Amino acid sequence: MPPAGNLKLQLHDVPGDDLNDAVTIELLSTSGACHYHNTEQVRGGLTLTGIDCTPAAPYRLLVAPTRYRSRSLFVTLRSGRTAVCDLTFPVLPSKVRALQAPPYTDLPEPLRARLRGTRYQALRPLQQACLLNIAAKASAVILDDGRSCLDHIAEIIRVRQDRVLARTTAALHDQAGQSSRFNQVSGVLHPAPAGYRPAGSFKTKDLHGNLQLTFFRRGESGNDYLVDADIDEARGIEHLFEVVRNAVNGPTNPYDVREILIAGQGLHPGYSFVFA
């Protein structure tokens, strides 16, 4: 019999729970001589045994779950040894059917207090996810006055799939402009609401998952400001998880943003995914 090796796969979702999904696994030797292919239900992991590895065979490994993004990498298998691959998979947004999110009464008090005019329970899943993402990120960005960005928001008045519009004051505008955590950026993609004029835009310096605050002011003086808050995905899914994603048109998907916040910044927005 030819020399054989083993491959142990440990598969997790982004929060670190065992993957429980139907997974297609494909191994193709770089010489093209050996090809292994199988699909099975996986709970956490599995081990492939008896793989030809004469003398030390490089293989291209493709792991394609049903509910999560596929990952591809190269592994080298050696005779009599078990190679171990520990892989984390971000969710495939199209497979998410609903959220398991906290009810309004269980939201953190700083967020609940700012939702007076917003019907939280009536928000669609994408809107809820966006709101909880931004609340988690805004709570974690502490300004020079010792308060978070969320602390400076008076009331959230509109929630979309990719952004939140809220009432605020000059204090948040000034603190963001002075903070070493922000860079000033263009706000040209954020049109001013009726009755307001642009007042500057600032973005955190994170490598991925940047919080951008775009301000609008009513009149030439006074303290009446709106802030458009969004989180920039900026190809973070590809860079953090080494997955290949097709070009996507339209608004940022908040499910991708959740994965980036958890994996890249240790911020959990407090909801999980429900699949069909």
Q: Identify the bridge partners of residue 184 per DSSP, sorted by sequence position.
A: 202
The whole-angstrom separation of Cα 223 and Cα 237 is 38
Q: Which two tokens stand for residue 153?
A: 């928001």
pLDDT of 249:
66
Kindly list the strands in the beta sheet with 210-217, ordered across the sheet, starting from the edge strand earlier in the chain: 155-159, 164-168, 225-232, 210-217, 197-204, 182-185
pLDDT at 261: 97
The Cα angle at residue 137 between residues 133 and 142, in degrees rounded to 5: 160
How do residues 169-193 score in pLDDT, each as one tens digit? 999 999 999 999 999 999 898 999 9
So what's the pLDDT on residue 209?
Answer: 93
List C-alpha distances in Å: 17 to 13, 21, 43, 85, 111.
6, 12, 10, 16, 27
DSSP classification of residue 95: G
Q: Which stretches of the chain score pLDDT less than 70? A: 1-2, 33-34, 55, 117, 234, 244-249
Distance CA 82, CA 7 (A): 5
Report the SS3 class of residue 140: helix
* The token pair that represents 44 in the structure block: 């956490």
Q: Where in the chain is the domain with CATH 2.60.40.1120?
A: 4-89
Which residue matches tokens 């980036």? 260
Global pTM reads 0.92
Q: Does domain 4-89 have CATH number 3.20.20.60?
A: no
pLDDT for 118: 77
- With a pLDDT cut of 70, the percent of the chain lying above it is 95
Encoded amino acid at 109, one letter? E
What was the pLDDT predicted at 245?
62
Angle (CA) 127 265 70, round 5°: 70
89-127: string of b/e by CB count within 10 Å (b at 16+)? bbbbbebbeebebbeeeebeeebeebbeebebeebebbb
